[in-house]
Amino acid sequence: MLQTRLPRSLSSKASHSLQRIFPFQSSRRISSSPPIFQNKLPPHKPNPPDPSPSDSLFHIIRRDLKGTSRWIVYGSLAVIATAETTFWTNVIYAKYFAKEGDEQASALLERFQEAIRGYRQRYLFNYGRYYEANLWGL
């Protein structure tokens, strides 16, 4: 029997309080007790699979991020979506629903068209440089 040897000066009350402190020491036999000192490693968690093309952004966020990080990403996406929606709403209003003499709407459309022209010029120039530098020998 697995029992602790207590001095005779300790009463039965003291041995009862020791059993609350050391619950693994019971009156069961050692052979029938579960293995306490067995080296158990935590179960191996495989690495998460690579995202497939069908995984949406929200599925990847839900699967990989935990707690506060997930909600920060959700909040950031909401702010970006709000800004993007506001911008395109103003552009559509200026193009299709503004009166002909509305100066503010025409100024917005002019700035937008100028940005598109500048982007196209830079894109075509940089694409031409890339094509000349990297694909010349094919």
Instruction: Report which listed range, 32-36, 45-49, 81-85, 101-105, is most confident.
Output: 81-85
pTM: 0.45
Provide mean pLDDT across the span 30-43.
Answer: 60
Please give the residue that has the higher pLDDT: either 81 or 7.
81
The contacts found for 71-78 with CB under 8 angstroms, 24 or more apart, are: none
Q: What is the distance, to the nearest Å, from the Cα of residue 115 to the centroid of all Cα atoms in its chain?
A: 34
Q: Which residue has the higher pLDDT, 76 or 51?
A: 76
What is the chain's Cα-based Rg?
36
Burial class (CB within 10 angstroms; exposed 0-12, middle 13-18, buried 19+) of 24: exposed
pLDDT single digits (tens) 60-94 = 888 888 889 899 999 999 999 999 999 999 889 88
Pull the structure tokens for residue 37. 């000192």
- C-beta neighbour count of 105 within 10 angstroms: 19
Residue 80 has φ and ψ, to the nearest 5°, of: -65, -40
* Whole-number pLDDT of residue 114: 93
